[in-house]
Each structure stands twice: as C-alpha cells, then as structure tokens.
Amino acid sequence: MYQDKKVVFSGVQPSGVLTLGNYLGAIRNFPKFSEEYRCYYCVVDEHAITVRQNPADLRRRTYETLALYIACGLDPEKNVIYVQSHVSAHAELGWILDCYTMFGELSRMTQFKDKSKKNADNVNAGLFTYPTLMAADILLYQTELVPVGDDQKQHLEITRDIAGRFNSIYGDVFVIPEPFISKTPSARIMSLAEPTKKMSKSDENENAIVRILDPKDVIIRKFKRAVTDSDTVVCAAEGKDGIINLMSIYGALTGKSFPEIEQEFAGKGYGDFKLAVGETCADVLAPIQTEYARLVADKKYLEEVMANGAREAAKSAMKTLSKVRRKVGFTDLPRY
C-alpha cells in the first residue's frame, strides 16, 4: 500500500504535553497526509536522554505521547507510529554519521548553544551530536519531506549537508530531504503571555501555553489571563499582537476569517471574546481528551502499536543501513 509514495518523517520528543500550538500548527494536518504519503511518526526517546530524565517519567511519557498522537487522529493502520529506541538502526546510523559530521558545524547549532546554557551542569556529547541522530532518523527512511518548525530548520539543513557529503563520497545513498510546507496553511500560535514569541511546550510559564490535555476550566482561565492591550476593540490592528494571536487561534478553531471575527465581536469587549475563544478551544479539544483517556488506559493496545510500528520501520531502516554499512567498508556477516 505504500509503494511509490513519498516519505514524510516526523519526530516528537516524549517530554511535556503537546500544546494547542503543536496541534493547530502541525498535528491537526497530519492525519490526511497518509492519503498521499508514507508517513513515519517517531517518539524520540533517544533524543530525550540528551537532558537528564527521570526514568519512570520518560517511560510513562513515551506511552502518553504515542497515545496522544493516535488520539489526534493518526491511525496506526495508515501510518508507521513507533518508538525510536525500538529500532536499533537509528543509533547505529547515528554513530556512522557522527564520523561524517564536523565538530565545527555541530558547534554552530543554535539549539546546542541554547541547551548548553540551560543545562550548564550536563553539556554531554549526546547534546552535541543530537543533530546527527536526527539526521539518521530522517535519512534511514529515504525521507523526502520533513514537517519542521522554525526551531528545527537548522537541524534539517545540517541533515541535508551530511547526506550530500556522504553521497558525494559513496554515490547516491540517501535521498536529500526537504522541509514540508503543508498545502493547507497552518496557524502559527504565539505565547499567551508574550504574544511576539511562539507558543512553546517547554515554556516555564504555564499561563503562556494551552496544552492539548488541559481541562476546560484551566483552558478558560488561561485565555482570560492572556496578555492583550489597553484598547477595547477586537480587530487585527498594528501593535495588537495579543488580540491578533487570539483571533488566529479562534480562526483556526472555527474556520472564520479575521473580518468575520471582527464582525462577530463588534461592540463586545475583550472579556466576551476571550471567553468565546476559551470555550471553543475546550470544545474542540474535548473529543481528543476523551479518546486519549481511553487509549492511555489500554497499555496492551499501545504496546501492540509500538511493536507493529517498530517492525514496519525496521524493514525500511535496515535496507538503508545495510547499504551504508557496505559503502563504508564494514564486513557483511551475520550481526548479533
């Protein structure tokens, strides 16, 4: 069923619950990709341990992240949904690619610089080589398209550089991946506390982010507290970043355009508008939350999905890895 389809690969860290920004900006569009593409969704637990994790929490969040993806509409029958550490080819190709990646180019990665500052007591080698493991994730599946946010663009660039370098030495081994720009324009959701900053699931201020699993009263409270301006009119005017962000969210949730939203709230205050955004948001997320609760209680099912996904992923990954092993000069004997 997958033959001749272009490959899309996406990785998600099992850390923190995904936000409304992740949902409206990306995940919501994922389910329909499977009609046109062969899609891999990988929970990247190996990437997660580049910062210190509580083992029990990491294990639990791996299940939860998988459950949330399925609850958001990703059908495990139509997509390959799996866990990174279940397919050993990732770590193996990661090592090989380390040897084709320069110290200098890894030193220039802004995420490495940021995370080194945040984790000054644990600037480990894995944090430094994070991008080569990510390159392995992508290149193992001969991926053509990677849906990436701004924060991961540099990592996709270095993946392209590494793949190009490898190909120029050994011939066409890897497909060079491109960023995936969705045909349906997706919303760019900003922080509720600082509306010029993107909503990030790792924000320290919980009031800045709405999480997909936040209960209704929490969602409404967060929208009530959203930073706006001292004006009173709901309109998309210059300098009204907070209101524009709420209008984008409301628009993405309802399908309404800015002029339609302006009309709907003409003569009403920010309080009414914020309440409407909060309630609409809670209504849209409710069915996802119900489905999530059902899935996360069914560990056996989640493990079945993980096992099937890993088996399916490993088939494609092994093809690429075998080729790479031959190219670099490893012997072709049974491996244990």
- Residue 274 annotated among the catalytic residues of the structure: no
Cβ neighbors of 247 (< 8 A, separation 6 or more) are 234, 236, 258, 261
Instruction: Please identify which residue in 13, 65, 129, 245 interacts with ligand TRP, judged by CB under 6 A.
Output: 13
Instruction: Please identify which residue in 7, 8, 9, 219 interacts with ligand TRP, judged by CB under 6 A.
Output: 9
Quote the least distance from Cβ 53 to ligand TRP, whole Å.
14
Phi, psi of 71 (to 5 degrees): -65, -30
Of residues 126 through 165, those in contact with ligand TRP by CB under 6 A are 134, 137-138, 146, 148, 152, 155
CA dist 52 and 122 (Å) reads 8
Q: Find out whether 19 and 288 touch, Cβ atoms under 8 Å.
A: no
Q: Would you say 139 or 247 has its CB closer to ligand TRP?
A: 139
The DSSP code sequence of 314-333 is HHHHHHHHHHHHHHHT---S
Q: Is 47 in the site for ligand TRP (CB under 6 A)?
A: yes
Per-residue x/- track, 83-122, ligand TRP (CB under 6 A): ----------------------------------------
Q: Residues 5, 6, 201, 256: which is the catalytic one?
A: 201
- Residue 315 annotated among the catalytic residues of the structure: no
Q: Is 209 in the site for ligand TRP (CB under 6 A)?
A: no
Q: Residues 5, 6, 78, 198: which is the catalytic one?
A: 198
Q: Is 30 in the site for ligand TRP (CB under 6 A)?
A: no
Instruction: Please identify which residue in 8, 11, 43, 127 interacts with ligand TRP, judged by CB under 6 A.
Output: 11
Quote the least distance from Cβ 130 to ligand TRP, whole Å.
7
Q: Find out whether 305 and 66 touch, Cβ atoms under 8 Å.
A: yes
Q: Is 161 exposed, middle or buried (0-12, 13-18, 19+ CB in 10 A)?
A: middle
Angle at 161 between CA 149 and CA 169, to 5 degrees: 155
Query: Is the dihedral angle over the CA atoms 86, 288, 194, 30 positive or is it negative?
Result: positive
- Residue 222 annotated among the catalytic residues of the structure: no
End-to-end CA distance of the chain: 31
Quote the least distance from Cβ 87 to ligand TRP, whole Å.
12
Q: Find out whether 285 and 65 touch, Cβ atoms under 8 Å.
A: no
Where along the sequence are the contacts to ligand TRP (CB under 6 A)? 9-11, 13, 44, 47, 134, 137-138, 146, 148, 152, 155
Question: Could you list the active site residues?
Answer: 115, 198, 201
